[in-house]
Amino acid sequence: MKRRFVLSALPAMLIALSGATKPKRPAAKPAPAVPLGDVVRVEIETALGTITADLFHKQAPITVRNFVRYVDSGRYNGIGFYRAMKLDWGTQPNGIIQAGVREAAKLLPPIAHEPTNVTGIKHKAGTLSMARLAPGTARSDFSILMSDLAGFDADPASDNPETRAGYAAFGQVISGMDVAKKIFEAPRSATLGEGIMRGQMLSPPIKVLRMWRVPIPAPAPEPVSS
C-alpha cells in the first residue's frame, strides 16, 4: 500500500534592510551535539497530549539520525498530524496517523532506505515508520501505526517492488497511544487530499507544539543479596 504526502511551497520572504549601519554581533556557536546511544527517546507534545517514543538507533542508524536532526533543529516544532488512514478490516483502531514538515525550506535531503528485513524492526501497533514515495525518498514525514500492519514490512521474495522494499520502521511508542488514538479519531475532510489520500486528511490538522529528546533513566541497581 502506497503512502503519499504533498509538500506546500514556502513563500518567498521579503527582508527590509535598514539604512543605518549596526555593529555585527559574533555568530553564536552551535551547542555541542549530544551523542546518540543505541536507543534515543523523544517526546512529541501535541495539542491533544504527549506521545513518548523510543527510536532504535542501533538497528536503524540512518533513519534515526535523520529523525533526530529534525528534532534537534526544531524543524518538527509547529508541524501537524495531518492524515489518519483508517482501514475497515481487522480489530479497530486499524491504520495510521501521519505527520511531517510541509515547508520546503525546512526539509533535509532524502535518506537511504532501511528495510525491515535488514533492521529487524517490524510494523506493530505503536511503531514509528517513515513515509515515502520510492525507496530512498523519505525525508521528514513519518507515521505512527495504530495496529499491526505486516504488509508494511519488507518482503524480499515479492515480485512487487513496493512490497519487496516495504517501509522503514525505526521506533516504538512507549506511552501516549491514547493520544495517538485521539488524533486518529479527529475530524477528517471528505474532500481534501489527492488520490488514495482523499478523505484521509484531518481538518484541522492536530498541531505538534514541540518535539525534543529526553534522557532514558538508568535501570535501578539490583539489590545486593546478604
Among candidate residues 122, 128, 61, 72, the one with its CA nearest the CA of residue 99? 128
Whether pLDDT at 26 is above 70: no
C-alpha dihedral sign at 11, 80, 61, 214: positive
Work out the average pLDDT over 180-198. Answer: 91
Of 189, 194, 218, 191, give the one whose Cα is nearest residue 205: 189
CATH code, residues 39-212: 2.40.100.10
Look at residues 167, 200, 209, 212 and name the one whose alpha carbon lies nearest to residue 82: 200
For residue 19, pLDDT beyond 80: no
The domain ranges of the chain are 39-212
Lowest mean pLDDT among 6-15, 77-86, 93-102: 6-15
Q: How confident is the model at residue 136 (pLDDT cuts 50, 70, 90)?
A: very high
Determine the Cα–Cα distance for residues 162 and 155; give it in Å rounded to an integer: 9
Rounded to a whole number of angstroms, the distance between the first and last alpha carbons of the chain is 58
**Average pLDDT for residues 85-113, to the nearest whole number?**
95
pLDDT at 52: 98
Reply yes or no on whether the pLDDT at 211 is more than 90.
yes
| Beta strands 95-100; 127-130: pairing state | unpaired
Give the residue with greater pLDDT, 15 vs 84. Answer: 84
Residue 54: CB atoms within 10 Å: 17
* pLDDT bucket at 91, cuts 50 / 70 / 90: confident
- For 118-221, where are the E strands, in sequence order? 127-130, 142-145, 168-175, 201-214
Stretch among 38-52, 53-67, 82-96, 124-138 having the lowest mean pLDDT: 82-96
Most confidently modeled range among 27-41, 51-65, 86-100, 196-210 = 51-65
pLDDT at 24: 53
For residue 1, what pLDDT band results from cuts at 50, 70 and 90? very low
Q: Cell numbers 497511544 correspond to what residue? A: 177
Radius of gyration of the chain (CA): 20
The answer to which of 75-89, 149-163, 177-191 has the lowest mean pLDDT is: 149-163
pTM here? 0.82
Per the model's pLDDT, the better-predicted residue between 208 and 190 turns out to be 208
Instruction: Give the position of cell 520502521.
Output: 169
- Half-sphere exposure of residue 170, counting CA atoms within 13 Å on the CB side? 27
Look at residue 90 in the predicted model and tell me its pLDDT: 84
Assign 3-state DSSP to the chain and report helix, strand, coil percentages, each to 5: 15, 25, 55
Per-residue cell: 156: 524480499
Please, what sign has the CA dihedral across residues 113, 119, 123, 129? negative
